[in-house]
Amino acid sequence: MAVDDSDLADLLAFVNDKKTKREVRTQAVEILEGLAGSAEGAHRLKSNCSAVLSTLLRCLCDEDQTVARGVLSACVNLSQDPTFTQQMLQMRVISRAMDMLKENNCQHPQLLVMLLNNLTTSEEGSSELLQLGHDKLQGLNMAVLLKRFVVSGMMWDPARPRDDYVHVGAILTNVTRLRPARALLLQPGRGLLQVLAGQLKAPDLVRRQGAACALRNCCLAAEEDGALDLICSDEPTVRALLDPLNGKSARGAEDAGVREALAECVMVLAGTERGRKALWAVKAPEIIKKGYELEEHPGVCRALEHAAALFLEHGIVDSDNSPQAEVATA
């Protein structure tokens, strides 16, 4: 649908005015949602970015749930565009979305979480979610999201498979690129690392991917963060990293990204003396060898080969017990 400036102004006016007939207002929302869902439409809305977002955000908590869902869906789509993302950050949309989640005054939490995921792909967005610079509040948003993530996973029912907080996993991947988020997950005595590792067995792929990538971020920076001992001393978590790599997973290609992230965790740990001791204690070389024999994903194989080479280099295993890349001979 072609929309000029006059048409767009009318659409925004209809959406803004709660006295407009419901069918007219909901149709205006549907048109905006449709525009936001296409590259051409989003580009058209970009010329009136501030006015569009002001209208959409004003209606996030609308009593008419058709309107509320429509404008939230439009926000999710627009948040994939850098121009709209930057404007949303300036308008403190992350803070507004978190307030809505905390107060449970939104009937569409899954869309709110998807919006937060898109907004935290940037370092600025991740920093805002973590509330960096606000000492008394820092980490509170993450604590709320983690709790919702874990509880919703525990309540998952195959008869009602909707999971409103599944995309928190992707948010964890985004924010753990920053040290404060990793520090939150690795706080001694909180057990959050084991909680996250437990999500590797979740029935939903998005959950497993989010947990695996967040764990990878923690492992990659473990030495720099001074967290290596904490991770390596957490035997249940180290075992959880290895379980999907044992070659017994029935998920195969579906979980290749999960296995690659975890194989990289193992590879990084194997590059340190403390990590090798922790991996040896849970029979990692044996698990890696068996898993490698059945693994088909190149990225997973490379990481496992590298880990095995590190074990071999440091005399942890001999060459007979180390996975080797096969070479075709004439």
How many Cα atoms occupy the beta-carbon half-sphere of 89 within 13 Å?
Answer: 20
pLDDT score at 262: 97
67, containing H or E segment: helix 65-78
Q: CA end-to-end span of the chain, whole Å?
A: 61
Whether the predicted pLDDT of 326 surpasses 80: no
pLDDT tens sequence across 150-175: 898 888 776 666 789 999 999 999 99
**CA atoms of 296 and 35, how far apart (whole Å):** 42
Is the model more confident about 73 or about 188? Answer: 73
For residue 328, is pLDDT > 90? no
The domains of the chain are located at: 1-60+72-91, 104-153+163-181, 186-330
Contact predicate 299/256, CB 8 Å: yes
Q: What is the pLDDT of residues 83-122, one digit of tens each?
A: 999 999 999 999 999 999 999 989 999 999 999 999 999 9
- The highest-confidence range among 107-116, 200-209, 321-330, by mean pLDDT, is 107-116
Q: What is the pLDDT of residue 329?
A: 39
pLDDT at 229 over 80: yes
In CATH, 186-330 is 1.25.10.10? yes
Is the predicted pLDDT of residue 217 greater than 80, yes or no?
A: yes
The span from the CA of 115 to the CA of 80, in Å, is 9
Could you report the per-residue pLDDT of 237-285, keeping only the tens digit for each? 999 999 999 987 656 778 899 999 999 999 999 999 999 999 999 999 9
Question: What sign has the CA pseudo-torsion 311, 314, 319, 325?
Answer: positive
The Cα–Cα gap between 84 and 52 comes to 10
Query: Does the structure show a pLDDT above 80 at 324?
Result: no
| pLDDT reported for residue 314 | 83
Answer for the pair 100, 61: CB distance below 8 angstroms, yes or no. yes
Mean per-residue pLDDT for 24-32?
95
Instruction: Report residue 297's pLDDT band, with 50, 70 and 90 as the boundaries.
Output: very high
User: Which of 200, 165, 196 lies closest to 182 in space, CA to CA?
Assistant: 196
CA distances from 220 to 54, 128, 269, 272 (A): 40, 23, 8, 11
C-alpha–C-alpha distance, residues 217 and 215, integer Å: 5
In whole numbers, what is the pLDDT of the chain averaged over residues? 91
Q: Does 317 score more than 70 pLDDT?
A: no
User: Half-sphere exposure of 51 toward its Cβ, with a 13 Å CA cutoff?
Assistant: 15
Q: pLDDT higher for 1 or 253?
A: 253
Would you state the pLDDT for residue 170? 96
pTM above 0.85, yes or no: yes
